[in-house]
A and B are shown apart, each in its own frame.
Chain A
Amino acid sequence: MNMWIVAAAVMAAILAFLLVKPLFEPALSIEADLKGDAPLRDLLDEKERTLRALKDLELDYAMGKIGSEELEPARRALALEAGKLLEEIKRNGGR
């Protein structure tokens, strides 16, 4: 029985050491921003969605799910949207 108590004590000591250690590491003493830039993040998300939509559009066309008469207007609309988004992203300091 004593053996298990010793094992439990050793386990608790190792865990305590490993858990507390990061608090004393200089590299981890930096304060991180947890809020982020929400408007820019939303714009980047929208840019990603638009690029994804362009990719889906081309895939749907290649697979014969839409015709060329539907492809061109949709592609133009998405390209216009992507252009506007890129400008706005630049204005907000993103890339």
Chain B
Amino acid sequence: MIEFGHFALALAWILAFGASITGVVLGSRAKAQLGQIEVVRRATMAVAACLGCALVALGYSFVTNDYTVQYVWQYSNRSMPWIYKVTAIWGGMDGSMLLWCFLVALFASFVARASVSYPRPLVPALLGFLNTSALFFTSITLFFTNPFRYLKTPVLMPDGNGLNPLLQNEYMAIHPPMLYLGFTGLFIPYAFCMAALASGHLSNDWVRLTRRWTLIGWTFLTAGIVLGGHWAYLELGWGGFWAWDPVENASFLPWLTATAFLHSVMVQERKGMLKLWNVFLVTLTYALTVFGTFLTRSGIVQSVHAFASTDIGWTFLLYLGLIFVVAVALVIRRRHELSPQRTIESLFSREAIFLLNNLVLLSICFAVLWGVMFPVFSEALTGQKQTVGIPFFNAVNVPLFLLLVFLMGVGPVIAWKRSSLRLMVRSFAVPFLGAFVVGVALVWAGVTEFYPVLAYSIAFFVLMTILGELQRGLGAQAAATGAATLAPSNAVALFRRQRMRYGAHLIHFGVLVMTVAITASMAHKVEREFTLASGEKYSVGRFELELQEFHDEEQANYDAVQAHVALKSAKDGSLLEVMAPEMRFYRKNKENTTEVALRMGQREDVYLVLAGIDETGTRASFKIFINPLQVWLWYGAIIMVLGGFVMALPLPRQATAEERSRGRVEQSA
């Protein structure tokens, strides 16, 4: 099977090579035979098929415990449950690169499949650029990180090393694929943009066609980032979900620029402005996904998530350089066609707010990038590696995020082109007043820290503007149709008519819920360390903990000690739950891990960690975190992802500029 996988990978490389060259060459011509374009289209889909076969071949080797394969031997063992044998495919560098290039090729194949209805001048160059990206990642996999290598040993190994215990978690089945789907999905807008620049087909078509793909990539990336946060929360045992770790940041950077693009693209579509800016954002987004891959795989920064240090970093740097060189060369070539058709007429217009939103998002992106790269810069300049921690990131980003959330409330409410001061006052007076009252009430209730009060007030302001927008929309819809404003049918009709608008509001509402949850969990978190012997009690907040007993457990691949701790109400002593944090010892890997006991609640999470047991085995030390409103963070993320998918659903097909210029508008299939 391993030979078959290797062959499929090599075949994919040949096809991607051929298709990228042919696509770019055809795209540079004035005319091309339809059959030639069809060959490139089919080759693009064949690359995905071949890489899919390679991935299945690797998975088969894992499931059948084929320890003649070095990668399988390194990341699997017989005692691992089958689900972890499957997730071990992307548990190490080589397999994760194979999954990555499969997903790149899969997205490319979806675009190729849909390309029959795209403007023809765009298609050959688009297929060419899609394949150049697939070619790069396939080259890395085939020549540098090939997972189909035999283990160089004179004897057949009876068992493998096993997967890192931290990665033996259900979230590993879904978090990396989601993240990779997000990363790889965001290369589609870049391919569209470069194809538009290369072919000179710079009409609104590429912008319209690419928005859905950007939304798909963005939604997967959002889901991937939040799942990563949830994995860290459950598995790493420090009571938090986001530590501004370099690898977390690497996934966050392209999310920021993609979010900026999703806003600024609306300005280009409607006003013919920000064309060059959007090219910059699309290129930067793709470059940052490649940069993130470089960061995790080059070993230049230290992170719990990073793969082992490897020598392939230079290939990513080379490719990054190539991305920018191609983009700059094409922009210079098409500079006249990228000039704006209008200018911003008023600062009180939606386009001005979107531009401001972009600047804030880019400022956050720059601050995070600076924090990530600071150890590298400091080492280069002073010879000493200095890192910046959570306080730096929070100090810089919290005010910027709050400004962003505030703009989220302002942007959708004001009109395109220009808003009058009188109507703005009318729209914002009640939300502002409401936010002020909330702020005063919080201070009166004893919340005296500046940022939490500001964050809750801004969140309330945005909530009011969203509800106000919904109410005005329902009113306008009711006036047009004669239905009752609050009738469910009126709401459904409004949502159907303006799905993109209300999908965006849904995302904004999700952000709002997350903002409140993050503020609460940061500002009102309780953290304690204590030791207990059997029968002893400890009180924290509304809770009382009583250590009942220790319990030994033996599983196929690890031994565990559990501490059974009764969680009781401090008020009446009633039992709420018996929590069982544990310490595991993975026999094969010879590694200790801690497993958190978590009681999730709508009001707060009780997060209990068994930190250690003394030599006598009768006394244990614990860490407890009471995280207020934590669960609402995950709810907010679900709402955001839901909003993303609502927006990414296909819209009724519009005629392309090419079809309209030929006067043959075809009906969508």
Bound-complex Cα distance A40 to B414 (A): 33
Name 11 extra pairs, CB < 8 A, besides A22-B42, A70-B420. Answer: A4-B1, A23-B36, A28-B38, A32-B34, A36-B121, A45-B272, A46-B341, A56-B270, A57-B416, A67-B420, A67-B423
Decide if B419 touches A66 in the complex (CB within 8 Å): yes
When A4-B3, A46-B272 are in contact, do A63 and B46 touch as well, CB less than 8 Å? no
- Other-chain residue from B8, B39, B120 in contact with A22 (beta carbon distance below 8 A): B39
When A4-B1, A67-B420 are in contact, do A34 and B30 touch as well, CB less than 8 Å? yes
When A18-B42, A33-B30, A49-B272 are in contact, do A12 and B11 touch as well, CB less than 8 Å? yes
- Other-chain residue from B30, B419, B423 in contact with A35 (beta carbon distance below 8 A): B30
When A19-B43, A56-B270, A56-B416 are in contact, do A32 and B32 touch as well, CB less than 8 Å? yes
When A41-B661, A53-B416 are in contact, do A36 and B30 touch as well, CB less than 8 Å? no
B473 to chain A: closest residue by CB: A63
Decide if A23 touches B4 in the complex (CB within 8 Å): no
Expressed in whole angstroms, the minimum distance between the Cβ of A53 and any Cβ of chain B is 7
Expressed in whole angstroms, the minimum distance between the Cβ of B658 and any Cβ of chain A is 5
Bound-complex Cα distance A95 to B42 (A): 34
Decide if A36 touches B658 in the complex (CB within 8 Å): yes
- Other-chain residue from A5, A31, A41, A56 in contact with B658 (beta carbon distance below 8 A): A41
Bound-complex Cα distance A64 to B419 (A): 11
Q: Which residues of A contact B15 (CB under 8 A)?
A: 15
Bound-complex Cα distance A41 to B121 (A): 12
Decide if B469 touches A94 in the complex (CB within 8 Å): no
When A34-B120, A45-B657, A48-B204 are in contact, do A60 and B416 touch as well, CB less than 8 Å? yes
Q: Which residues of B contact A11 (CB under 8 A)?
A: 7-8, 11, 50, 53
Decide if A25 touches B35 in the complex (CB within 8 Å): yes
B412-440 vs A: 1/0 string, CB under 8 Å? 01111111101100110000000000000
Expressed in whole angstroms, the minimum distance between the Cβ of A34 and any Cβ of chain B is 5
Q: Which of A1-53 contact B (CB under 8 A)?
A: 1, 4-5, 7-8, 11-12, 15, 18-20, 22-25, 27-38, 40-42, 44-46, 48-49, 52-53
Decide if B413 touches A65 in the complex (CB within 8 Å): yes
Q: Is A74 an interface residue (CB 8 A)?
A: yes
Q: Which residues of B contact A52 (CB under 8 A)?
A: 269-270
A59 to chain B: closest residue by CB: B476
Q: Which residues of A contact B53 (CB under 8 A)?
A: 11
Expressed in whole angstroms, the minimum distance between the Cβ of A54 and any Cβ of chain B is 11
* Chain A facing B: main interface SS: helix
Decide if B417 touches A40 in the complex (CB within 8 Å): no
Q: Is A79 an interface residue (CB 8 A)?
A: no
Expressed in whole angstroms, the minimum distance between the Cβ of A37 and any Cβ of chain B is 5
Q: Which of B626-669 contact A (CB under 8 A)?
A: 657-658, 660-661, 663
When A63-B469, A64-B427, A94-B663 are in contact, do A15 and B11 touch as well, CB less than 8 Å? yes
When A35-B200, A41-B657, A48-B204 are in contact, do A22 and B472 touch as well, CB less than 8 Å? no
Q: Which residues of A contact B476 (CB under 8 A)?
A: 59, 62-63
Bound-complex Cα distance A95 to B11 (A): 47
When A31-B32, A34-B29, A34-B124 are in contact, do A19 and B416 touch as well, CB less than 8 Å? no
Interchain Cβ contacts within 8 Å, total number: 154
Q: Which of B311-327 contact A (CB under 8 A)?
A: none
Q: Which residues of A contact B26 (CB under 8 A)?
A: 34
Q: Which residues of A contact B35 (CB under 8 A)?
A: 22-25, 28-29
When A41-B657, A52-B270 are in contact, do A32 and B414 touch as well, CB less than 8 Å? no
A7 to chain B: closest residue by CB: B4
Decide if A74 touches B201 in the complex (CB within 8 Å): no
B194-237 vs A: 1/0 string, CB under 8 Å? 00000111011000000000000000000000000000000000
Q: Is B395 an interface residue (CB 8 A)?
A: no
Q: Is B119 an interface residue (CB 8 A)?
A: yes
Bound-complex Cα distance A65 to B43 (A): 51
Q: List 8 A-B contacts (CB under 8 A).
A: A8-B8, A12-B11, A18-B46, A32-B31, A32-B34, A36-B120, A49-B204, A65-B423
Decide if A42 touches B39 in the complex (CB within 8 Å): no
Decide if B415 touches A66 in the complex (CB within 8 Å): yes
How many residues belonging to A are interface residues under a CB distance threshold of 8 Å?
A: 51
Decide if A20 touches B661 in the complex (CB within 8 Å): no
Q: Is B37 an interface residue (CB 8 A)?
A: yes
Decide if B42 touches A19 in the complex (CB within 8 Å): yes
When A62-B476, A63-B472 are in contact, do A29 and B199 touch as well, CB less than 8 Å? no
Q: Which residues of A contact B426 (CB under 8 A)?
A: 64
Decide if A67 touches B422 in the complex (CB within 8 Å): yes
Decide if A42 touches B203 in the complex (CB within 8 Å): yes
Q: Is B33 an interface residue (CB 8 A)?
A: yes
Decide if A66 touches B420 in the complex (CB within 8 Å): yes
Q: Which residues of A contact B472 (CB under 8 A)?
A: 63-64
Expressed in whole angstroms, the minimum distance between the Cβ of A45 and any Cβ of chain B is 5
B12-51 vs A: 1/0 string, CB under 8 Å? 0001000000000011011111111111001100100110
Q: Is B479 an interface residue (CB 8 A)?
A: yes
Q: Is B588 an interface residue (CB 8 A)?
A: no
Q: Which of B445-482 contact A (CB under 8 A)?
A: 469, 472-473, 476, 479-480
B479 to chain A: closest residue by CB: A62
Q: Which residues of B contact A66 (CB under 8 A)?
A: 415, 419-420, 423
Q: Which residues of B contact A48 (CB under 8 A)?
A: 204
- Other-chain residue from A24, A40, A49 in contact with B270 (beta carbon distance below 8 A): A49
Decide if B4 touches A8 in the complex (CB within 8 Å): yes
B208 to chain A: closest residue by CB: A48
A23 to chain B: closest residue by CB: B35
Expressed in whole angstroms, the minimum distance between the Cβ of B350 and any Cβ of chain A is 9
Q: Which residues of A contact B413 (CB under 8 A)?
A: 65
Q: Which residues of B contact A59 (CB under 8 A)?
A: 476
Q: Is B599 an interface residue (CB 8 A)?
A: no
Q: Which residues of B contact A4 (CB under 8 A)?
A: 1, 3-4, 7
Q: Which residues of A contact B537 (CB under 8 A)?
A: none
Decide if A65 touches B414 in the complex (CB within 8 Å): yes
Decide if A32 touches B203 in the complex (CB within 8 Å): no
Bound-complex Cα distance A66 to B476 (A): 13
When A20-B39, A28-B34, A52-B270 are in contact, do A37 and B420 touch as well, CB less than 8 Å? no
Decide if A5 touches B661 in the complex (CB within 8 Å): no
B419 to chain A: closest residue by CB: A65
B34 to chain A: closest residue by CB: A28
B18 to chain A: closest residue by CB: A19
Expressed in whole angstroms, the minimum distance between the Cβ of A68 and any Cβ of chain B is 11
Bound-complex Cα distance A42 to B661 (A): 9
Expressed in whole angstroms, the minimum distance between the Cβ of A41 and any Cβ of chain B is 4
Q: Which residues of B contact A31 (CB under 8 A)?
A: 31-34
Q: Which residues of A contact B46 (CB under 8 A)?
A: 15, 18-19
